[in-house]
Structure 1
Amino acid sequence: MSKILITGGAGFIGSNLTEHFLKAGHNVVVLDNFATGHLHNIQQHLENSNFTLIEGDIRNVEDCKQAVEGVDYVLHQAALGSVPRSIKDPQTSNEVNVTGFLNMLVAARDAGVKRFVYAASSSTYGDSESLPKVEDVIGKPLSPYAITKYVNELYADIFSKTYGLETIGLRYFNVFGRRQDPNGAYAAVIPLFVKQFLNHESPVINGAGDYSRDFTYIDNVIQMNALAITTTNPDAVNTVYNTAVGDRTTLNELVGYLKEFLSEYDAEIANVEIIHGPNRQGDIPHSLASIAKAERLLGYKPTHVIREGLKEAVKWYKENL
C-alpha cells in the first residue's frame, strides 16, 4: 500500500484517479482549491480512513509542502485547462500551470517523493503537422496554455537530471468520460454536446466539423497513471508518453455517435439540428497519437475506443445530469 497525492483530485480526471487508487487499497491525499473541481466528485470518500482532503492551492508553497508529507507518489493533475481560457487570461494560466507546477516539483523533491507523474498535454505538439504524433517530434505552441504545458515538460526533465527526481509526463489527448463537467464557459465538447442534446438544444460545431481528435476515454487514462506509478523499467521513467487510443474521430463523426447513443434514451434527439460556427482560435486541425512508446515501455493496452467510451459516458450522463 502506497501513499499517493493527487493534486486536482476533485476534478474530472483527478476524482476518477482518486476512486481507482482508493479501491486498490492505497492511501490517497487530495489537494484541491475547487476552482474547477467539485466536492461532490469526492464526497463519497470523506469518511474513508484512507482518504485525506487538503483544501489548498498549488500556487501556495506551504500548501504544496503540507500535501507531500509522507507521500510516495504524486499524480499532478491540478491545472487550468482550456485553450480559450488561456487566450483570455494568460497570466492566471501561467501562475497555476507553471508556478504551481514548479512549486509541486520543489515540494516533491524536498519530501523525497519516489516518483512525480504529471498531466502533460497533446497541445505541446503545436503547429507540427506530422501524423501520428510521436513524442520526440513537436512544433511551436499555438496558445498560452500549450506553452505552459510544454514548460512543465522542460521543468520535469531538469528536475530529473539535476535532482534525481523520477518524473513521467502523460500527454493527454482529449480525455472524456464520467464526471467531466458539462457546465461553464470552458466545458469540453463531449459533455457540453451531451447536455445540449439531452435538452434538445442544437450543439455548435466550430468550423465544418472535419477537424479530428484522438478522443480518449477516462479508463485508458487511469491505466496509464497506474502503469506510470508501478513500472520498474528504468528506461520507462524520466520521459513523456502519449496517453491516447491511437485513432481519430472528426467532430461530425462524434456528433453522429452521440446522436445514435442518446437516441436510445430519447428518440427526439435524432432530429436535433447541428449548427456550424467559425473555427476556434488556437485549435489544430487534426490530432492523432502514436501509442507505440507507451505500449513498448509501459505495457499499455487501451481498453476503450471511441464508441465504447461514448456508450459508457452517455449512460453516466443520462443517469447523473
Structure 2
Amino acid sequence: MTKVLITGGAGFIGSFLAHKLVKLGRDVTIVDNLSMGRKENIDDIDVTFYQHDVCDHQFMHELLTKREFDYIYYLAAVSSVADSVERPLETHEVNQESVVDTLEYIRKQNLPIKRFLFTSSAAVYGNLPDFPKQEDSHVQPLTPYAIDKYASERFTIDYGNLYGLPTTAVRFFNVYGPRQNPDSPYSGVLSIITKCLKENKPFTLYGDGSQTRDFVYVDDVVNALMTISKQSNEPKVYNVANGGETPLIDVIHTYEKISGKQIKIKFAESRNGDINKSKADISRLKEIGFEPHWSLEDGLKNYWDYYAKK
C-alpha cells in the first residue's frame, strides 16, 4: 500500500488532502501540533495521527526512517503573514528550518521517496508589476512568511536539481472552503467574512476593498496536488490557483447575495506586507492536465451551505 505523510494534515487544506488520499486507499500518516489544525477535521477517516511539532527533528527523523514514505506533502507552517511579522524567528523555525532538515535527512539516509511536495505561497511575488504572476516572474517577498516560503521552495527545488530527489513546490494563491478556522485573527479572509455574516458581526476591511485576489476552492487545490504528484519530470514550481482576479469588495457583495445577509464593514488602514493585486497564470498547471472546476460563486455557495449548517 502506498504510504503518505502529510505534515499539517489536520489543517484546512491538509485535511481535505487526507480525506482524498484515504478514499483512494492510501496509508496516510499525519503530523500536526494543532496550533492551527483541528483534530475533528480528520476524526472520521482512518489515519495514523501524531500530535507533534515538525521542529522536533529527532521525532521526524525516526518517523521518516520507520515508515519509509512514498509521498510527503509538506503543509506544516505558521500560515499567517501578520503572525510572521509578530514572531519572525518562530516562523522561520517552522517554515524554513524544519523543511531543510527534512530534505537533508532524506538525502543523507537515501530514503526511497517518490515525491516530496512543498507548499509555498503567492506571497513570494510581492507587489512587483509582473502580471499575471507566472512561476518565473520576479519575486519580492515582503515579510518573514514570504521570505521563508521562498527560501524553502528554492531549497526544495535545488535538492531535486543537485541531489536527484523527486521534489516539487507549489505556490498557493487564496484558498478557501469548509474547515477553514475562522477563530484565529490570522485566518483566511473568506473564513472571517463567513463567520461575520453568520454571527451578524462587523468585518474589518484593511484597505479600500479594491485589492484583488485569485480565490481557488479547496477541492480544486487538492486535485491540483494529486495531478502534480503524478509527474515524474524535473523539479518545478507550480502556481495553484483559479486563474482569475476579483476585488475583495466584489467578493463581499457576492457573498452577501448568496447568504441573504448584509455585513457591516469597518474600514482600516492597510497592513504591512499586504498585497495590492494578485492573479495567477496557471498555464504550467494546465499543461499537465489540471483544470479548475469551481467558480467563485459556486465555491462560496458550497462554503456558505456548509458553514450555515455547523
With the length of structure 1 as denominator, give the TM-score of the two structures. 0.92
Match in the other structure for 2:235: 238
- Whether contact under 8 Å (2:96, 2:152) holds in the other structure is yes
Letter in 2 for 1:137: S
Inter-partner Cα distance in structure 2 for 1:11 and 1:67: 20
Aligned equivalents of 2:58, 2:114: Cα separation in 1:
20
Q: Which runs of 5+ in 1 are unaligned?
A: 264-268
Aligned residues: 306
Moved over 6 A (4+): none
Query: How far did residue 90 of structure 1 move?
Result: 0.4
2:83 to 76, 82, 85: 85
Shift in Å at residue 19 of structure 1? 0.5
- Match for residue 60 of structure 2 among 61, 64, 67: 64
Which residue type is aligned with residue 77 of structure 1? L
Query: Could you tell me which residue of structure 1 aligns to residue 165 of structure 2?
Result: 165
1:177-230 CA deviation, whole Å, 9 max, x = no partner? 110000022121101111111111121111110000001110111011101222
Aligned pairs for 1:96-111 (under 5 A) are: 96-109=94-107, 110=109, 111=111
CA deviation digits over 1:83-105, x for unaligned, max 9?
11011110010010011111221
Is residue 2:45 matched to residue 1:55?
A: no
> For residues 28-80 of structure 1, what are the alpha-carbon distances to aligned partners after superposition, in whole Å with 9 as ceiling and x for unaligned?
010111111111111112xx3xx211222111112222333221000110000
Q: Is the 8 A contact 1:58 1:103 kept in 2?
A: no
Secondary structure at 2:227's aligned position in 1?
helix
Q: AA paired with 1:55?
A: Q
> How is 1:251-262 mapped onto 2 (pairs within 5 angstroms)?
251-262=248-259
For 1:151-162, list aligned pairs within 5 A: 151-162=151-162
- The answer (yes or no) to whether the contact 2:9–2:15 under 8 Å persists in 1 is yes
Deviation of the 1:314 alpha carbon = 1.1
CA distance in 1, matches of 2:61, 2:305: 39
CA distance in 1, matches of 2:51, 2:106: 18
**Identity of aligned pairs, percent?**
33
Report the counterpart of residue 266 of structure 1 in structure 2.
none
Shift of residue 305 of structure 1?
A: 2.0
The residue type equivalent to 1:88 in the other structure is E
- The answer to whether the 8 Å contact 2:126/2:142 transfers is yes
Matched, 1:142 2:132: no
Matched position secondary structure for 1:204: strand
* Gap change, CA 1:27 and 1:249, over 3 Å in 2: same
